[in-house]
Structure 1
């Protein structure tokens, strides 16, 4: 049997195989590079929505660093749960965990403009939602019928649509700059566009690690550009570095604990979506890396790890964790199925999370540069949702479900004042856009008769009838 520079084909398909250390370490670091920016970005977005000061002299600066630090630390610890396992918790597969974008449409309204005081309710929701998420592992296989591609594709698309506004705001100068003469300036947009152009160039014209880490390299180039044009100074970098500790441990219930019904309901409902996403990622890993279907034990273990990792993160000030899809593609590309390679990456993340100076350097990245990166990432979330929707048979029934869910969900998100008279808890959930769209789609998919699927769609689609999964009608 032919042997590659890493191992034989049988070894590469074995999750328990460990390549030589001098090869396993770069492979593990590559997994971290593929997810690093996506992992810390939600913490920065939540801090920005809460109104944290982003300057190194801001009184909120240590809190921002802490959120970034926890994102790295608990992504690493949750990944270890997946690769090493703890009893039934973990899939014993090369699954990389990270902070989930999916929960941002829930988290942003919860903390909007409320500062550090809002974090007690936020992390209370993360903790309870994580426990609920872990419980889903006991019957995840039995609820998948309620979440077909029509529902999951709509939800993922709505997540992206809810976030694209954030990317544009960041590229223009950030939420605090709205209304100022500097907001939307050519200088701000130039920094964001440098990141977008470099990212696209590397993604499509480079190979190997450069292509996989295109967003990270794009941000690095954008950072250098920002230094050159004076958007960030070495003095600011030095101040951030000096204000950050060399080593720090997480603090349990650092922001207190508060029970918020809106937070708990929101996080528990989103746990369903995250759990189904994890099922898809586990299946993608086993198919792409080992050429087989995932077992029920692997799917349940991965879901347990999602929930336990999220609950523990909530105790210490970390955001919800989920499996990262970009690393699934990386496994398919490299052909290395070893879970111990991912364990090495997890240890690197934990090390970064225990050293706040790493977060201090991340925080010196101008918001405009970060905006270029998130424009690409959030756009890819929308594209992923549309890709999932291409598997839907667009008959009249499914078109009606999609139309009503999208119209109400996106409409409430764009015009939150339409439900201003609702109680605060319900108003927050409704104006997220994501939850009403998901609930409507799930309920309609369960109650509408499938006989509609056999009827003509012309009267509702202007002739664009469904002629198969993801297809357009023929002339």
Structure 2
């Protein structure tokens, strides 16, 4: 419900309105709490997949690198958010859009870094940089390509992203990466800690109101952390105290800290995923203007938001950050509070930037047990799947759409489950195919464009056995 004590209804719908600071600061921090865990999680997952994060033999040696990636996630989420709220020439929508590290690219990044340690980072960040530049280019014609990404395609892609990540959530909740010798993997203690996070998150989401409900995952992880700290030996400060004592109060990021390397697989993967990310941003911009101001987004706002996505991602790649995009949970927060002020979000962005410049914050996040994080990501990744299914509910499930979905899902998910099925392909093609996400998206896009629209209801029944649902499909970013 809108709090009219913050301002008049007309003021609350105005992006340029600034509430009094004693109101604006808590509202800005609320935006940060809503996205904080989701923002740093991709860096933790990629570090773990590369072999210098949680549950890896090189975890202790790779501690500074993982901490640095966490820092960059916070820093460039804040910087990219400023691009959106304040703007820079044509870059930015000048709307209350919160940027954060994107989950969408994780299935693309994992095959690029898997087991390669920090040696994989030049290729990774080279892909982030080139992909960000390509994403910026999309801003010039984003409105013209939306026809190729209807709910059938976007819903499939988002569902595939979630399905690719749920395995990570289960592994983290069970205690790490099972490929490494861990006698306690899957123990009752590990699962108990993860379930504390899940239960607290669910309780707050459904039975609390206001900030507690919005930041349920964040509070759930804090609860799990406290249980692990006081009742188990999971929280380890080994190496933390030394690292934190040696760390400067503030640290400015280094450009090309890990080098830069061109990889065709990385560039193709990041550029193709940019299409999906751009369309997601268009949907978020539309959701903000409809939910907060009761109007449609302008072409200039959509274009500026897409530019900010790309520029923010490219700059992040230079300094060791991962791709960023608009965060949908903050769109819902604007609709809930009714506060459309972009300056409120600017306050949240400044808070993120300060955290990103303080290595001690990244080091503290690094102490979170992987089981605690597992409980949080189970909820987050499950919500990604649910969001994809929600998009698919807008699809008219005739035979044509069912066949497109079936083929794309079967091939994409199948290649994810058994990467060795394409082990004899050239390296570049193999990496792209085993992501599962890219082949599924390409199949869905191509088939959607070439298969005829007109199919009879009788044909639908032949395929579905009379169980298909019918809906009025409409584009949903």
Distance 1:288 1:449 in 2: 35
What aligned pairs does 1:325-344 form with structure 2 within 5 A after superposition? 325-344=328-347
Cα offset, 1:247, TM superposition: 1.2
- Aligned match of 1:473: none
How far 1:4 moved relative to its partner?
Answer: 2.0
**Counterpart of 1:364?**
367
Q: Distance in 1 between matches of 2:117 and 2:237?
A: 28
Distance 2:54 2:435 in 1: 25
Are the equivalent residues in 2 in contact too, given 1:398–1:453 (CA < 8 A)?
A: no
Distance 1:113 1:233 in 2: 24
CA contact (8 A) 2:178 2:185 kept: no
Q: Give me the whole-angstrom Cα distance separating, in 2, the residues matched to 1:253 and 1:96.
A: 25
Q: CA shift at 1:238, angstroms?
A: 3.2
Number of positions where the alignment pairs a residue of Structure 1 with one of Structure 2 = 469
With over 3 angstroms needed to count, the CA separation of the structure-2 counterparts of 1:345 and 1:73, relative to structure 1, is same
> What are the within-5 Å matches in structure 2 for residues 154-193 of structure 1?
154-175=156-177, 178-193=180-195
Alignment of 1:2-21 (within 5 A): 4-21=4-21
Q: Does 2:80 correspond to 1:75? A: no
Q: Distance in 1 between matches of 2:100 and 2:59?
A: 29
1:244 CA drift (Å): 3.5
1:256 alignment counterpart = 259
Q: CA deviation at 1:241?
A: 2.8
Q: Which consecutive aligned stretches of 4+ in structure 1 deviate over 6 angstroms post-superposition?
A: none
The aligned counterpart of 1:44 is 44
Q: Does the CA contact (< 8 Å) of 1:100 and 1:321 recur in 2?
A: yes
Cα pair distance change 1:10/1:232, threshold 3 Å: same
Distance 1:235 1:314 in 2: 30
Alignment of 1:266 with 2:263, yes or no, is no
- Tell me the CA shift for residue 179 of structure 1: 4.2
Determine if contact 2:95/2:342 at 8 Å carries over to the other structure. Answer: yes
Question: Which sections of structure 1, spanning at least 5 residues, go unmatched?
Answer: 471-475
Contact 2:395 2:470 in 1 (8 A): no
CA contact (8 A) 2:51 2:59 kept: no
Q: How does 1:390-469 map to 2 (within 5 A)?
A: 390-452=393-455, 456-469=459-472
CA–CA separation in structure 2 for the residues paired with 1:57 and 1:459: 54
Give 1:228-239 correspondences, 5 Å limit.
Answer: 228=230, 229-233=232-236, 238-239=241-242
Give, in whole Å, the separation in 1 of the partners of 2:178 and 2:259: 27
Q: Among residues 189, 199, 203, which one is paired with 1:197 in the alignment? A: 199
Alpha-carbon distance in structure 2 between the residues aligned to 1:243 and 1:215: 31
| Structure 1 residue 54, shift from structure 2 partner | 4.2
TM-score scaled by length of structure 1 = 0.96
Asked if 2 retains the 8 angstrom alpha-carbon contact of 1:3 and 1:9, the reply is no
Give the structure 1 partner of residue 104 of structure 2: 102
8 Å CA contact retained: 1:240, 1:361: no
Q: Is 1:22–2:30 an aligned residue pair? A: no
| Contact 1:395–1:455 (CA under 8 A) maintained in structure 2 | no
Match of 1:46, SS? helix
What per-residue deviation string (whole Å, max 9, x for no partner) do you get for residues 171-228 of structure 1?
1111166443211111111111110000000000000000000000000000001112
More displaced stretch, 451-460 vs 230-239: 230-239
Which secondary structure does the structure 2 equivalent of 1:451 belong to? coil
Q: Deviations over 1:329-367 (max 9, x none)?
A: 000000000000000000000000000100000000001
User: CA RMSD for the aligned pairs?
Assistant: 1.6
In 1, the alpha carbon distance for the partners of 2:336 and 2:79 equals 25
Q: Cα deviation per residue 1:12-44 (whole Å; 9 max; x = unaligned)?
A: 000000000111000000000000000000000
| Partner residue in 1 for 2:379 | 376
Secondary structure of 1:322's aligned partner: strand
| 1:456 Cα offset (Å) | 2.9
Q: Which secondary structure does the structure 1 equivalent of 2:416 belong to?
A: helix
Please, what TM-score do these two structures have when normalized by structure 2? 0.96
How far did residue 60 of structure 1 move?
1.2
